[in-house]
């Protein structure tokens, strides 16, 4: 398990001079950033860095650019237009992702920035004080993100991601669910109900991953878990496997989850199935979605504590 509690922000750094002949020559910069609570991911060309951003956009709080650089991997020499070209591509990516990623310039060639405009923060590599200013700026960008405010407000829930107990993409799905928990727009809360339902399979998978083996594999068909079987087993009840041949009964040694979580597990999985059905005619409102998301948060807190306690023994 990885402890990332001290990480405040994550930034991408695109600078062709961070590495030379295969050796990282800017390790001090990366180490100093880490000491300030900032993870810096370096790239020596824009194309590779932008591809990483396209795949993991929400993971980053800011981008650090150089005044001169290379657009493509393996390119010899620096391009005078690389900064403007990269800035343009970052703006296009922001339109695609629906969110602007703050960018700044960290360079020893401040005189070459006359075409960049005045709105992008600029930090001088030749000035010691500018290093602290750069780190403070990155942390400020992280602090200003709506997603990070949601994570901070629900820190006990998001611990599952600090310990890598759920797939990383579920983190941003959970942020979305919490951001929109009060939405009264039926298409929004119906879609989010269906999204919340997917966390049940993720948690059940986690309970039987990496040597945890909490439940019999007979409860699984392919990648899908029989939630009815799992719920009964987790609250300490015997399960008759009627869809197996021969039919047999499996019994847990005892209760694994508290009773209230057993009921909540059913709420998270079954309520969206009902309300999301096209032929479901009963009145339901955004309060049902709020109940589902709150139940999910309760389940994730238990899941984190259960797995961490199990690994401590």
Do 133 and 94 touch, CB atoms closer than 8 A?
no
Do 284 and 184 share a structural domain? Answer: yes
Task: For residues 226 and 103, state if they share a domain.
Answer: no
**Domain span including residue 125:** 9-144
pLDDT in tens, 195-247: 998 999 899 988 887 566 788 888 888 878 888 888 899 999 999 988 877 88
Q: How many residues does the structure list for the chain?
A: 313
Residue 5: pLDDT band by 50, 70, 90 thresholds? Answer: very low
**d(C-alpha 187, C-alpha 169), whole Å:** 22
Contact 60, 12 (CB under 8 A): yes
135 and 162 fall within a common domain: no
193 and 220 fall within a common domain:
yes
In whole angstroms, give the CA distance from residue 226 to residue 230.
6
Q: Using alpha carbons, select from 10, 11, 297 the residue that is nearest to residue 166.
A: 297
pLDDT > 70 in the chain, percent: 88
Same domain as 159, residue 292: yes
User: Looking at the DSSP assignment, which residues form a beta bridge with residue 114?
Assistant: none
Mean pLDDT of all residues belonging to the chain: 85
Q: Which helix (H) or strand (E) holds 40?
A: strand 38-43
Report the chain's C-alpha Rg in angstroms: 24
Of 88, 119, 144, the residue at which a domain comes to its end is: 144
Q: Are residues 106 and 178 in the same domain?
A: no
Three-state DSSP at 121 gives coil
**Is the Cα torsion angle 65, 103, 101, 93 positive or negative in sign?**
negative
In this structure, are strands 103-107 and 19-20 parallel, antiparallel, or unpaired?
unpaired
In-domain check, residue 131: yes
List, for residues 274-290, the tens digit of each pLDDT value. 665 667 677 778 888 89
Residue 250 half-sphere exposure toward CB, CA atoms < 13 A: 16
For residues 189 and 11, the model is more confident at 11
172 occurs within a structural domain:
yes
The total number of structural domains that make up the chain: 2
Beta-carbon contacts of 17 under 8 Å, excluding residues fewer than 6 positions away, are 25, 26, 44, 66
Residue 2 included in any domain: no
Higher pLDDT, 262 or 20: 262
Instruction: Answer with the residue of higher pLDDT: 203 or 3.
Output: 203
pTM here? 0.69
């Amino acid at each position: 398990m990885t402890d990332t509690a001290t990480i405040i922000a994550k930034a991408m750094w695109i600078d062709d001079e961070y590495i030379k002949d295969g050796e990282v020559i800017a390790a001090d910069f990366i180490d100093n950033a880490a000491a300030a609570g900032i993870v810096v991911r370096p790239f020596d060309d824009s194309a590779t860095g932008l591809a990483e951003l396209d795949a993991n956009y929400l993971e980053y709080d800011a981008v650090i650019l150089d005044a001169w650089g290379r657009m493509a991997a393996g390119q010899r020499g620096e391009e005078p237009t690389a900064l403007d070209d990269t800035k343009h591509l970052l703006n296009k990516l922001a339109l695609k992702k629906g969110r602007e990623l703050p960018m700044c310039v960290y360079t020893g060639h401040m005189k070459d920035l006359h075409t960049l405009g005045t709105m992008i923060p600029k930090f001088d590599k030749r000035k010691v004080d500018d290093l602290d200013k750069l780190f403070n700026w990155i942390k400020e960008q992280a602090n200003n993100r709506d997603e990070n405010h949601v994570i901070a407000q629900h820190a006990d829930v998001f611990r599952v991601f600090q310990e890598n107990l759920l797939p990383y993409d579920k983190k941003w799905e959970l942020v979305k669910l919490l951001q929109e928990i009060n939405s009264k727009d039926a298409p929004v809360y119906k879609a989010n109900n269906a999204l919340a339902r997917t966390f049940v399979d993720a948690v059940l998978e986690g309970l039987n991953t990496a040597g945890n083996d909490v439940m019999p594999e007979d409860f699984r068909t392919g990648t899908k878990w029989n939630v009815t079987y799992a719920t009964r087993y987790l609250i300490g009840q015997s399960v008759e496997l009627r869809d197996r041949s021969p039919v047999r009964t499996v019994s847990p040694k005892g209760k694994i989850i508290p009773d209230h979580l057993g009921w909540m597990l059913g709420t998270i999985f079954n309520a969206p199935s009902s309300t999301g059905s096209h032929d479901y005619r009963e009145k339901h409102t955004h309060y049902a979605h709020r109940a589902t998301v709150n139940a999910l948060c309760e389940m994730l807190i238990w899941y984190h504590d259960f797995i961490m306690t199990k690994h401590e023994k």
